[in-house]
Amino acid sequence: MTPKTVLITGASSGIGRALALEYAKAGAKVALVARRIESLNEVAQEVRALGGEPLVLVADVTKSETVHKAVGDAIATFGGLDMVIANAGVGGTKHAKEISWAFSEQMIDANVNGAVATLVSAIPHMVERGSGQLVGVSSIAGLRALPNSAVYSASKAALSTFLEAIRIDLRATGVKVTDVQPGFVTTPMTDKNTFKMPFKWPVEKAAKVITERLQKAPSVIAFPWPLVTALRFARLLPNALYDRLVSAADPRGL
């Protein structure tokens, strides 16, 4: 199932932009949502050049009413939405001793409240038509807490749990829910990182894999497999052993 109409938050750069270009190649109508209008306009030009139909919608996902309006505008303009991807998010690492409330609040607002506002805005529309795909971009950092990533790991774990719960609730409605859990991907977000990022993928590869796998609407899309396997295994470890191992490996800020 390839969507003919898709809305993507965080479409002005990185993974969101790359996903928009993948769907443009398939001739989709793509609603591009983010705060920076100049970047969105550039992505819109690329979408058009690849054969897609862009719709630029400026919205700050931390302001729920603007997200709600963006989703409504896309539905009205395209005549419906086959897929909504809550991808917008912010990254950043901080040791527990350095976390401020302002740092926590902006991250949870964008990564949790912003994603939830996006998805809940689309649920009534998709349930009413009995079809559609809701997608959230969380992270493998939500699988188990990582050093210096208390807020980021917690925000992504919250989003993954939210996605799992709506997947269960919407089971009989025809609406599919997918949790995308990337490892490190080369984007402006990770360009700022100075630490080692094992198995980092180019953004084009990540977008290709995500869009290909989304055709089957699985409950989870997680990559790359060595990190996913390690973190899934880590969930089975006793806390004392996990704490010691992860402190030694220190894979910060996924």
Ligand X SMILES: NC(=O)c1ccc[n+]([C@@H]2O[C@H](COP(=O)([O-])OP(=O)(O)OC[C@H]3O[C@@H](n4cnc5c(N)ncnc54)[C@H](OP(=O)(O)O)[C@@H]3O)[C@@H](O)[C@H]2O)c1
Distance of CA 172 to the CA centre of its chain: 24
Verify binding: residue 36, ligand X, rule CB under 6 A. Answer: yes
Residue 3 one-letter amino acid: P
Nearest to 57 by CA among 108, 107, 112, 20: 20
CA distances from residue 4 to 78, 121, 127 in whole angstroms, order as listed: 9, 19, 18
Q: How far is the CB of 18 from ligand X (least distance, A)?
A: 8
Q: Is 152 assigned a catalytic role?
A: yes
* CB 1 to ligand X: min, Å: 22
Torsion of CA 78, 81, 82, 88, to 10 degrees: 120
Of 152, 162, 184, 201, which is the active-site residue? 152
Q: Does 211 bind ligand X (CB under 6 A)?
A: no
The residue (of 28 and 221) whose beta carbon lies closer to ligand X is: 221
Q: Which is nearer to ligand X, 137 or 175 (CB)?
A: 137
- Of 13-21, 74-82, 235-243, 244-252, the window that binds ligand X (rule: CB under 6 A) is 13-21
Q: Which of 3, 52, 54, 182 binds ligand X (CB under 6 A)?
A: 182
Instruction: Find where tokens 């989003």 sit.
Output: 159
Task: Kindly write out the interface string for residues 96-135 of this chain, putting x where it contacts ligand X by CB under 6 A and - elsewhere.
Answer: --------------x---x---------------------
Q: What are phi and psi of 176, to 5 degrees?
A: -95, 150
Task: Retrieve residue 223's tokens.
Answer: 């990559």
Interface pick for ligand X out of 2, 39, 131, 173 (rule CB under 6 A): 39
Backbone angles phi, psi at 13, to 5 degrees: -160, 175
